[in-house]
Chains A and B, each alone.
Chain A
């Protein structure tokens, strides 16, 4: 049973396109996250949602828009893709409310490798 799943695993697209990455967790967690990992493996948080409510929105272009239809899903939509958006995107989740979740383990999905041509 996959705890945190992401689709697709690989995404290759042209500049200017709009694409979405889906994330689902079956752990019953209250908090979900999106991270971007660049080619040097540097990991940066982008968004955090707690019970469908946006908690963290780091300095991310507004072309990136998270959408949480329910507690178990946090999808990432990207408009007008740029070359610099090429990276691996990780979804994660943790138990509890946001503040309590800070001390909790995060469970990561396998990642989505996005390549913008």
Chain B
């Protein structure tokens, strides 16, 4: 079956630090991959996505590359801000198997 594994949090960084949140997946088909962000007290919002191998999704300074060889979709940002403090979810949807999965979420706190 399909699954998504994210690095456990919480992650605490200082402003302007480099961010990496690891995400690996297991899929029987050819999934699309997503990163969603949940700010305190709000619903999830799409941050970026990639629909096929080697695609790079990017938005608001965040990037993630769909790596089929390592089954990974790690989220990176070169310089985090306090406003990036949120919970980040990696997710996959599998067209062939009619399935979608979310990772457990990683809480990021950025301190000034």
Contacts and interface: CB of A to CB of B under 8 A. Distances in A.
Interface in B74-90: 87, 89
Given A42-B104, A43-B105, A111 B43 contact: yes
Interface in A86-108: 90, 92, 98-99, 102-103, 105-106, 108
B102 A44 contact: yes
Given A41-B105, A41-B107, A43-B102, A99 B95 contact: yes
Interface residues of B, number: 23
A98 B98 contact: yes
B71 interface: no
Interface in A36-54: 40-45
Contacts of A98: 98
Interface residues of A, number: 21
Nearest to B93: A102
A98 to B, nearest CB: 7
Contacts of B43: 4, 90, 92, 108-111
A111 B104 CA distance: 17
B22 interface: no
A102 B33 CA distance: 10
A32 B49 CA distance: 19
B17 interface: no
Nearest to B95: A102
A103 B98 contact: no
Interface of A: 4, 40-45, 55-56, 90, 92, 98-99, 102-103, 105-106, 108-111
